[in-house]
Amino acid sequence: MSFPSLGLRAELLSAIATQGYTTPTPIQTQAISVIFSGVDLLAGAQTGTGKTAAFALPIVQMLSENPPQKKRRRPRALVLVPTRELAAQVSEQMQNYGRRLSLRSTMIYGGVNIQAQIERLQRGIDIVVATPGRLLDHAARGTIKLSEIKFLVLDEADRMLDLGFIDDILKVAEYLPAQRQTLLFSATYSQSIKQLADELLDQPKRIEVARRNIAADEVSQTIYPVERSRKREMISHLIRKGEWNQVLVFARTRYSADKLTAELLFDGINTAAIHSNKSQSLRTRTLKEFKQGELRVLVATDVAARGLDIAHLPHVVNYELPDVPEDYVHRIGRTGRAGEAGIALSLVCPAEQQKLQAIEKLLKVAIPRDTIAEFPQIAVKRGMVVKPRKSSIRPAKPKKAAVKLKTAVSKSEKTAAKPTKIQKSTKSRTVGRKKAVTARPAPKAGRRGNRS
């Protein structure tokens, strides 16, 4: 399959060529034609598979083929994303494709002055990429009108649910016309995602480009069992001895991210942290420096790192395992993106064993363990023990580990078993497409758009 055979316009083909893409990725091959056919889409796509272009290209093309009827441009495509970083990334791609077809795109997220966003919206916009909270703020103030939306994209929907955005998403849906095309992308697929899809999508076409809940195949994963107190030393050793020059390190909390950053700086390793306590401008600047190779180590929390797209990122280190097993998939998906090989290492202390079990249960594989001669193996129960071997990389006995893993229940599964927020909210809310006609605020005459 080639890009021209997907029916894309010459302007977009030239934008794709400029980016250096030669062949469509699997999600692009499958999703682009489905989106062009006008039906709703429920796409299970691993992180880093090229899903942004998979929805951005056909949306931009269809918007350009149906220019707005009125002089004043109101948003006709809305992409909801979980974080500001992802908003910036998606918006950049939308702008890149859209500008070639005279479409205007903007992003909306919290934590920055709202006035500049209002002014941009007032100038007229075709595509909005937004985090749900700030978008609702605009909708409530009347500074954005969502009544002409033809395309709604929920990007990284699983993450939006993890971050507790479900109510906000459903509220946003109340402002949207029932006649629209809705596309939902999610790296992992849970009961809550199914319920969200039932609420917002109309007989969606299902596509899946990789096995569910499985980390990117290109990433080589290794666990280094280590005492908690020696993690800092070990990471510093790995970075220096391995001569790693661009490492993304995940910490569980902001405090831990800051502490590790200070310690690595003390060791003479050029490091900075990004997390939600840092100002947006600082986060943007730090990320830019890291992308440009001016910063050797970026220590990030999950929220800040979501959606980071760094070309050729070779190393991801889990300094601490995430609380939610699905986050492990997202984290390691920052490397090995779009077909490139990547290395993901996790430093795991005894207290994190249950988390590791939940991750392996989700992945349905035992992640290989390894040791470093300088950091003697500690005795750890339940499948963590490997004999110290200098720089050995060998899989833990899969059978043994797999049996142990049976008892582990991931946090998300526990949540799925309980009555979910979605279930509760559907009682008071009717935002499904069929229901939305009666449920959303009374539309003003002539505002409702048609399916394009």
As a whole number of angstroms, the distance between CA 305 and CA 245 comes to 18
As a whole number of angstroms, the distance between CA 179 and CA 433 comes to 8
End-to-end distance of the chain based on CA atoms, in angstroms?
Answer: 26
Task: Please state, in angstroms and as integers, the Cα–Cα distance from residue 365 to each residue in 214, 353, 383, 395, 400, following that order.
Answer: 9, 15, 13, 10, 11
Out of 8, 32, 48, 223, point to the residue binding ligand AMP (CB under 6 A). Answer: 48
Check: CB of residue 398 under 8 Å from CB of residue 364: no
Instruction: Please state the φ and ψ torsions of residue 240, each to the nearest 5 degrees.
Output: -75, -50
Residue number, 18 or 102, with CB nearest to ligand AMP: 18
Instruction: Please state the φ and ψ torsions of residue 11, each to the nearest 5 degrees.
Output: -60, -40
**Min CB(411)–ligand AMP separation in Å:** 25
Check: CB of residue 321 under 8 Å from CB of residue 348: yes
**Min CB(1)–ligand AMP separation in Å:** 10
Task: Please state, in angstroms and as integers, the Cα–Cα distance from residue 82 to each residue in 94, 250, 362, following that order.
Answer: 17, 18, 22
Contact partners, residue 164, CB within 8 Å, separation at least 6: none
Residue number, 28 or 117, with CB nearest to ligand AMP: 28
- Please tell me whether residue 379 binds ligand AMP under the rule CB under 6 A: no
Q: Would you say how long the chain is, in residues?
A: 452
Residue number, 19 or 279, with CB nearest to ligand AMP: 19
Residue number, 174 or 218, with CB nearest to ligand AMP: 218
- Please tell me whether residue 338 binds ligand AMP under the rule CB under 6 A: yes
Residue number, 184 or 366, with CB nearest to ligand AMP: 184
For residue 379, the Cα-to-chain-centroid distance in whole angstroms is 36
Span from 50-58, 272-280, 317-325, 364-372 in contact with ligand AMP (CB under 6 A): 50-58
- Please tell me whether residue 231 binds ligand AMP under the rule CB under 6 A: no
Residue number, 338 or 351, with CB nearest to ligand AMP: 338
**Min CB(394)–ligand AMP separation in Å:** 31
Residue number, 28 or 186, with CB nearest to ligand AMP: 28
**Min CB(48)–ligand AMP separation in Å:** 4
Q: How many residues of this chain interact with ligand AMP, rule: CB under 6 A?
A: 14
Site string for ligand AMP, 13-32 (x = CB under 6 A): --------x--xx--x----
Check: CB of residue 77 under 8 Å from CB of residue 176: no
Out of 51, 74, 171, 315, point to the residue binding ligand AMP (CB under 6 A). Answer: 51
Check: CB of residue 180 under 8 Å from CB of residue 151: yes
What DSSP element (H or E) covers 129? strand 127-130
Out of 53, 178, 249, 422, point to the residue binding ligand AMP (CB under 6 A). Answer: 53
**Min CB(341)–ligand AMP separation in Å:** 14
Site string for ligand AMP, 292-331 (x = CB under 6 A): -----------------x-x--------------------
As a whole number of angstroms, the distance between CA 52 and CA 274 comes to 23
Q: Exposed e or buried b for every residue in 406-424, given b needs 16+ CB within 10 A? A: eebebbbeebeeeebbbee
Return residues touching ligand AMP (CB under 6 A): 21, 24-25, 28, 48-53, 309, 311, 337-338
